[in-house]
Amino acid sequence: MKIDLTLYLVTCSDGLSEKDFLTKVEQACRGGVTLVQLREKKKSTREYLHLAKAVKEITDAYGIPLIIDDRADIAVACDAAGVHIGQEDLPVWAARKIVGNDKIVGTSAKTVAQALAAQKGGADYLGVGAIYPTTTKVITTLTPIAVLSDICRAVSIPAIAIGGLNLGNCQALKGVPIAGISVVSAIMKSENPEAAAQKLHAAVSDLLN
C-alpha cells in the first residue's frame, strides 16, 4: 500500500475529553497531517474500539489512513488502514498474519540491525527514534541522527523520524533520506492543531526536497 508518511500524527488523549480529543484530531487532519496513528495504552478493548471508530470517521472524511497502535485485533475490527507494532507489542509476523497483506504494518527500530530484521519480517515502514527527548513515552536512549541516516540507507522500506520533533528542531534532519516525521505533542498539545499541522507539513515538505 502506498502511503504518504510526510507528517505522521501519533495521538495522545491524556487529559482530554473524548469530544476535545476528536476535535483536536480533526483540526490536525484539516491542517495537513498525512496519517493518523491512534495510540491508547489504558483503554479496554471495547473502549479502544469505540474511539478507533470515532477517529476513523474523521480520517475517512479527510481521506487520511488510520493506523492503530499495538492492537492488530482492533485494526481489523474497525477496518483501519493498518497497525503499528512497538517493542512491547506483537511480533511483526503475527500482526501481518492478523491484518493480512492489504493493511499496513509499521514498526519501530533503534538500530540498523533492528531495521533490517523488521524489513525482513514484513514491515511496511519504520519509525526511528527517539531523536529528541519526549514526554509522551519513557525513552531510555536517544537515536542519533547519524544512526537514523544509516537506517534509511540500509533498508528499502520508508523510515520516519520520531521523538520530540517540532518546528524548531526538525531542520536538523535536512538531508537525511527519511519519508517524513512523526509528532505527538507538537500537534496534540498545540493551542491550534490546524495551524501547527500546516506549518509542520510545510517545514517537512521543505526538508524532504
Q: Quick one: 3 exposed, middle or buried, by C-beta within 10 A (0-12, 13-18, 19+)?
A: buried
Q: How far is the CB of 70 from a second copy (least distance, A)?
A: 6
127 in a known ligand binding site = no
27 vs 37, which CB is nearer to a second copy?
37
**Over the range 119-134, which residues count as b (16 or more CB within 10 Å of their CB) and which as e?**
bebebbbbbbbbbbeb
- By CB under 8 A, tell whether 91 contacts a second copy: yes
Q: How far apart are CA 87 and CA 30, in angstroms?
A: 31
Residue selected from 39, 71, 103, 110 as contacting a second copy according to rule CB under 8 A: 71
- The radius of gyration of the chain's CA atoms, rounded to the nearest angstrom, is 16
Q: How far is the CB of 76 from a second copy (least distance, A)?
A: 5
Q: How far is the CB of 55 from a second copy (least distance, A)?
A: 17
Query: Which residues here bind a second copy, judged by CB under 8 A?
Result: 44-47, 49, 70-74, 76-77, 87-91, 94-95, 97-98
Bind-site residues? 37-41, 69-70, 89, 108, 134-137, 164, 184-185
